[in-house]
Amino acid sequence: MSALKAYDCYLVSVAREPDPSRKTELLAQIVEYLLDKPLATVTFRTLAHALGVSTFTLVYHFGSRAELLSEIVGAISGRENDIQAQLSAEPPSLDAYFSGLEQSWQWSIQPRNRQLQRLEFEAAMMEAVDPGPRSYTRALYERWQAIGRDALLALGCSEADAEAESRLTVSAMFGLQYDLIVNEDVEAATAAFRAMLDGHRRHLESLVRQG
């Protein structure tokens, strides 16, 4: 056993509670490791070997494989917190709403982030086939929809319109991100995003006037 693994085993045996900073560090290393690998192959053993730690350390910090996958999805999907904070910090306006969508798209087209998005989609398919106790990708979808719904309600849309429009927009964004991953054509996907944005804005302006 290497000195690093022996030290990790020692930490597991004597610590009473997981060290949040150590968990954050491990999670960042795991995400980097997975950038060019399928999520389905993740096990504590393979990750322990890749990171140079013991499997005991990973189990100690993440519990089960399902909990680990949930942490991974959470780590690569945290951008909705930034967008929500931006919307909350500004007075409700169409400009602020569409700025959030633009910010999300600019994140999506970065090469590294496309790999992160691929992991999100893979996690969603794994959850759809074998949901079990897992609901991390469903929760992610619901968080994005809630952000959009709350923003549209603040603009004066009815509850029914805000619900429908936020679901439609989130689904469209996920579809465009899927396009990026499958076709790797940033220019074409961005053109489609702009067209979606233009149509969505015209429709929202009409709804807001009616409200």
Q: Domain coordinates of the chain in residue numbers?
A: 3-63, 78-210
Report the 10 Å Cβ neighbour count for 3. Answer: 7
Cα 147 from Cα 90, distance rounded (Å) = 14
Cα 177 from Cα 190, distance rounded (Å) = 10
On the CB side of 186, CA atoms within 13 Å amount to 9
The pTM of the full predicted model, rounded to 2 decimals, is: 0.79
* pLDDT of amino acid 187: 97
pLDDT tens-digit series, residues 43-74: 999 999 999 999 999 999 998 888 888 888 88
pLDDT tens-digit series, residues 74-130: 887 766 667 767 666 778 889 989 988 998 899 899 999 899 889 989 888 888 887
Query: Does residue 6 surpass a pLDDT of 70?
Result: no
Are residues 136 and 72 in contact, defined by beta-carbon separation less than 8 angstroms?
no
Question: Got the DSSP string for 18-83?
Answer: --HHHHHHHHHHHHHHHTTS-GGG--HHHHHHHHTS-HHHHHHHH-SHHHHHHHHHHHHSTHHHHH
Cα 136 from Cα 14, distance rounded (Å) = 31
Buried b (16+ CB within 10 A) or exposed e, 19-45: eeebbeebbeebbeebeeeebeebebe
* pLDDT of amino acid 8: 52
